[in-house]
């Protein structure tokens, strides 16, 4: 599968958001990654529907919206209406994950499940055929610029192996602490999509950094 990069707008400069969007449009990035936090599921509050509408207006690539909120099933249609193309929800936040995943798919979006660092990939065994992607958190969710958790490699390898055994094609995405020091190993471990924030937006040449992430080797 192709290597994909999804710059996380959580690390963007919101004083020049339009410029940041255009930078991603002109780069080799594949998706826009948008973290939605409610201050309840995680101790932070970020984007609301008006901001997502604004991003969608100028984005020329799919919006990968990651919900870090309680009861995400209540808002699926609203996120679709705001412009989400891909919607991921946390296993830890969904009482009825199977139902929520199918609500997302029925709305016309790709559907993904997210696992926090403490959650085993085996928790998703019974729903794997229903998923378009699985997002592995390589930091504890809530804030940008955290240190990468090394156990992520093991989880990705387990998930990649399971994907081969059951012969399905869900994407594996990793979010948190991703940079040029670990991108190559993550791709080699079976990751398809890397979410990178601080690594890209703090770079003197973000477009080059995105290109370098895609070409990273172990």
- CA of 176: how far to CAs of 139, 143, 155, 165, in Å? 5, 9, 14, 27
| Whole-number Å distance between alpha carbons of 196 and 199 | 6
Considering the candidates 35, 38, 64, 132, report the single residue annotated as catalytic.
35
Backbone torsions φ then ψ of 182, nearest 5 degrees: -125, -5
35 is catalytic: yes
Residue 152's Cβ-count burial label (10 Å; 0-12, 13-18, 19+) is buried
φ/ψ bin of 142: left (φ > 0), alpha (ψ from -120 to 50), beta (otherwise): left
Candidates 38, 132, 175, 179; catalytic one = 175
- In DSSP notation, 96-160 reads THHHHHHHHHHTTSEEEEEE-TTS-GGGGGGGGGG-SEEEEESS-TT-SSPPP-TTHHHHHHHHH
CB atoms inside a 10 Å sphere around CB 15: 7
Residue written as token pair 């997502």: 52
- Asked whether 34 and 14 are in contact (CB, 8 A), the reply is no
Which residues face 33 on adjacent strands? 8, 64
Q: Mind telling me the catalytic residues?
A: 35, 175
């Amino acid at each position: 599968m192709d290597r994909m990069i999804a710059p996380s707008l959580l690390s963007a400069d919101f004083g020049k958001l339009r410029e940041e969007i255009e930078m991603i449009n002109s780069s080799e990035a594949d998706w826009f990654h948008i973290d939605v936090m409610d201050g309840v599921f995680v101790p932070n509050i970020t984007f609301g529907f008006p901001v997502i509408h604004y991003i969608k207006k100028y984005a020329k690539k799919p919006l990968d919206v990651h919900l870090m909120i309680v009861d995400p099933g209540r808002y699926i249609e609203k996120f679709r209406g705001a412009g989400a193309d891909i919607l991921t929800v946390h296993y830890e936040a969904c009482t009825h994950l199977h139902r929520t995943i199918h609500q997302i798919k029925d709305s016309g979006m790709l559907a993904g499940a997210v696992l926090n660092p403490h959650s085993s990939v085996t928790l998703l065994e019974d729903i794997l055929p229903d998923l378009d992607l699985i997002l592995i958190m390589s930091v504890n969710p809530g804030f940008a610029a955290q240190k990468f958790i090394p156990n992520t490699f093991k989880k990705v390898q387990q998930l990649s192996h399971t994907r081969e055994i059951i012969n399905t094609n869900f994407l594996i995405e990793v979010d948190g602490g991703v940079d040029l020091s670990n991108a190559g190993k993550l791709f080699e471990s079976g990751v398809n999509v890397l979410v990178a924030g601080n690594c890209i937006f703090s770079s003197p040449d973000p477009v080059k950094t995105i290109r370098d992430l895609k070409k990273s080797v172990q």
